[in-house]
Structure formats: structure tokens, C-alpha cells
Amino acid sequence: MMDDDPRAEPERDDRILETMAARLALLLAWPLPPALLQPPLDLVMAILKRRHPGAFERLTELPEAEIVVDPVDMPMAFRLRLGGGEMRLSVCRRDDIGEPAALVRGNFAVLLDLMEGRTDGDALFFSRELTVIGDTSPVVALRNAVDGEDIDMLADIAAMLGPFGRLVRPARGAASRARSSLVGLHDLLLGPALRRVEGVERRLTRLEGH
């Protein structure tokens, strides 16, 4: 749908809500020990495997590689191990990224849109909203595999939850009404935390500069 299409408005509201909800959930979960964070990430992989076996198979068939996905507006990064017959997603600190085969960096909303095929990776790369560092081969394969599927994380999670999942749809429908209050809630809850993260990053950048 084109940006100037008035029908895009409710869909945009839904999207902003979903992105904020995902971001909120991750930020609230972030202080938890990694052992507690791993089960939900394993669940995400299980959902992908069950709902998108084609994409999953294509990714596990690749040569083994590690890609770090780094949402610049979040305090954490994600480590994705592909190939060699399996796929594993874990979360890591930005200062513990190590030397992955490739690093993909962008805003959280951009990365989420990319995963769901809502935006074009090449266009983001041309405009520098998306940065790729290192070996492009696993990144291109990952992008093509996820783009080739109709991935809709919220719908996928809803389907996995069975009867509880039915709650997700009405929640989506109410998105435009909920949006303005959520923006306020989001800023209220996360504003101070994000400012702290940004402050630390600014200090680190200054230190690196010396």
C-alpha cells in the first residue's frame, strides 16, 4: 500500500502498536538472566519452524554462519546461528558481540519490518538505514528466506497459542484507538531507561574517541 493511501492509516497504527509492544516486551525482559530469556527465544524459533518450514529448511541447509542483528535503539543484540542443520537465536550484550560472520544494524522497527517482508532490504541499504558489516552471503540468504514467506509474528504467535490466540485479533483491531495512549505509556515507562542507555552510549563513544 502506498504511503499516501488513506487506507494505510489503520494498518500503520496496528504496526506502530505491534512494534512498540515487541520493543516494550524485550526491554522489560532485558534485565532477566540469559537463562530465563532463552526459552521465549527458543519458542520463536519453534514457531518459525512449525509455521514456515520452507524458510526454516532453507536456512538450516546453508553453510554454518553466525549473524548478529543489532537494533541500535535497544540495549541488546541478537545472535542468530544458521546452517549445519539447525538454527538458534540468542540475545547478547552489545559489548559482547564478538566476531560474527556478519552484522546487520538498524532501528528495531526497521529490522522487524524487514523480517516480516514489509520493507525492501536493498532500499534500506541504499539509503543507509540498514548497515551490513562482514560477509554478505548469509545475510542475503537470510533476507531472501524470510522475505519469501508471509511471516507475521503476531499472527504466528496467535496461531501457536490456540484459543488464547483469538485474543490477539481484537487487540489488533483496537490498535488505532490504543495507539495514542500507548505512545504516552511507552514514553513514560521507557523514556528514562532509554535516556540512560543513550547516555552510556554517548560516554562510550567519547571514550573511544580518545
The rounded distance, in Å, linking the Cα atoms of 151 and 20 is 18
Look-up of cell digits 527458543: 42
Minimum CB separation of residue 35 from other proteins in Å reads: 32
Minimum CB separation of residue 120 from other proteins in Å reads: 4
Q: Is residue 141 near other proteins by the rule CB under 8 A?
A: yes
Among 19, 90, 136, 176, indicate the residue that binds other proteins (CB under 8 A): 136
Q: What is the DSSP string of 179-209?
A: HHHHHHHHHHHHHHHHHHHHHHHHHHHHHHH
Q: Is residue 119 near other proteins by the rule CB under 8 A?
A: yes
Binding piece for other proteins, criterion CB under 8 A, among 37-45, 67-75, 83-91, 147-155: 147-155
Classify residue 154 as left (phi > 0), alpha (psi -120 to 50) or beta.
alpha
Residue list 29-58, contact with other proteins (CB under 8 A):
58
Among 23, 51, 79, 143, indicate the residue that binds other proteins (CB under 8 A): 143
What residues pair up with 22 in beta bridges, in sequence order? none
Q: Is the distance from CB of 18 to CB of 66 less than 8 angstroms?
A: no
Minimum CB separation of residue 105 from other proteins in Å reads: 10
- Residue placing its CB nearer to other proteins in the complex, 119 or 176: 119
Question: Strand, helix or coil at 85?
Answer: coil
CA angle centred on 99, ends 25 and 71, rounded to 5°: 25
Contact positions vs other proteins (CB under 8 A)? 1-2, 4, 58-59, 62, 114, 117-123, 125-128, 131-145, 147-150
